[in-house]
Structure 1
Amino acid sequence: MISRRDISVAFISVCLTCISFSFASSAVPLISASVYDWNNMDVKKTDVGEYRQVIKGPTATLDELELHVTTLLPGQNSHAPHRHVNEELVIIREGTVEVLSNGERKKLGPGSVVFNSTNSLHALRNIGTVPAVYHVVNWQSTETKLLAKQQSSSSTGDNK
């Protein structure tokens, strides 16, 4: 004999299962082996040049991997000097830039690489006469989120 309690428990179990499948299917898929053709990338114009978002999402080992390519017009800054928790690589493809890294300004050209460590003050300016093109690779891991949370807690005075 099936009781009303048994039916209620079965109904709740089915609902919870459906909800969990719904969340699982809406999760962002992992980035796997991929190829990105420069000619097929969407180009977004900006006030200082243009921008191509190549990839952004989780991988098997990172919470987020993000790669974009910026074309910066002569005389322009990518942004004001700033800091962020995530680490990043900047690979100069074309042009001449000045970077602020570790408190120093350095002139760099094609093939040069900049590593911006966590919370390091950094900036980039095109000091050449032609557009500068550079690739930016950012990543976030579990540790990145922990650092961000710690900094957020310490900046708000919350010591929990």
Structure 2
Amino acid sequence: MKPTTVIKIAIFTLIIQSTQAQETKKQRTSAEIKYSIENCVNHFDLNKATKTKVGYQYWFADKNFTQENTLKMSIVEPGKSTHAPHHHPEEEFFYILEGTAEFFLDGKTVTAGPNTSFYCPPNAEHGISNVGKTDLKYLVIKKDLR
């Protein structure tokens, strides 16, 4: 057998093993979690929030608890943003609860306030900033691509 053929077979084998390991982990994780009314209802608790450099975030549901989706609340101080515009393979929804947000999507921006949602398709360059005078509070819903 040619060395390149051996390498191709080895790479193919590694890809298959990695995919199988991810599926096994996903099945094991979902089987290990016992869902109940007590852990499926999550009330915001500032003491359990994570401090960030621009405010804080609170995970209502993270990838270790849910099957596919995550739900996070972000609070961003006036004049700041969580990070520079970026992209990733997951789609995201943002829902503005309080404050004024500037949403950036593929080179264009829009400014909006409470009760507004923003959708970011997969791999689109996007970002969100607080352009108001009070804290910006918004929800982020994202599908986990384990």
Same fold (TM over 0.5): yes
CA displacement, residues 99-122 of structure 1 (integer Å, 9 cap, x when unaligned): 102421100100010111000110
Q: Which residue of 2 aligns with 1:68?
A: 72
For residue 28 of structure 1, what is the aligned residue in structure 2? 29
1:80 aligned to which of 81, 84, 87: 84
Q: What are the Cα deviations for residues 75-116 of structure 1, in whole angstroms up to 9, with x where unaligned?
A: 001110100000110000000011102421100100010111
Q: What SS does structure 2 have at the residue aligned with 1:38?
A: coil
Q: 1:8-65 CA deviation, whole Å, 9 max, x = no partner? A: xxxxxxxxxxxxxxx88x9323685721111377111111001111112365xx5x31
Alignment match, 1:89: 93
CA spacing shift, 1:36–1:105, aligned 2, 3 Å = same
Report the Cα distance in structure 2 between the residues aligned to 1:31 and 1:138, rounded to whole angstroms: 22
Structure 2 residue corresponding to 1:48, chosen from 54, 77, 88: 54
**Paired residue total:** 116
Cα distance in 1 for partners of 2:81, 2:100 equals: 12
The question of whether the paired residues in 2 share the 8 Å contact of 1:41 and 1:54 is answered with no
Deviation at 1:140, TM superposition (A): 3.2
Note the aligned Cα RMSD (angstroms).
Answer: 2.5
- Unaligned stretches of 5+ residues in structure 1: 1-22, 146-160
* Counterpart amino acid of residue 37 in structure 1: H
- Structure 2: segments with no counterpart, 5+ residues: 1-23
Alpha-carbon contact 2:44-2:58 (below 8 Å) kept: no
CA distance in 2, matches of 1:97, 1:31: 37
> How far apart, CA to CA, are the structure 1 residues paired with 2:78 and 2:99?
9
State yes or no: 1:37 paired with 2:8: no
2-structure distance, mates of 1:117, 1:31 = 32
Q: TM-score, normalised by structure 2?
A: 0.70
Q: Which residue of 1 aligns with 2:108?
A: 104
Q: TM-score, normalised by structure 1?
A: 0.64
Distance in 2 between residues matched to 1:114 and 1:102, nearest whole Å? 13
Q: 1:41 to 1:35 in 2, by over 3 A?
A: farther
- 1:54 partner amino acid: F
What CA distance in whole angstroms lies between the structure 1 residues aligned with 2:116 and 2:34? 27
Q: Which has the larger radius of gyration?
A: 1
Instruction: Work out whether residues 41 and 53 of structure 1, in 8 Å CA contact, stay in contact via their aligned partners in 2.
Output: no
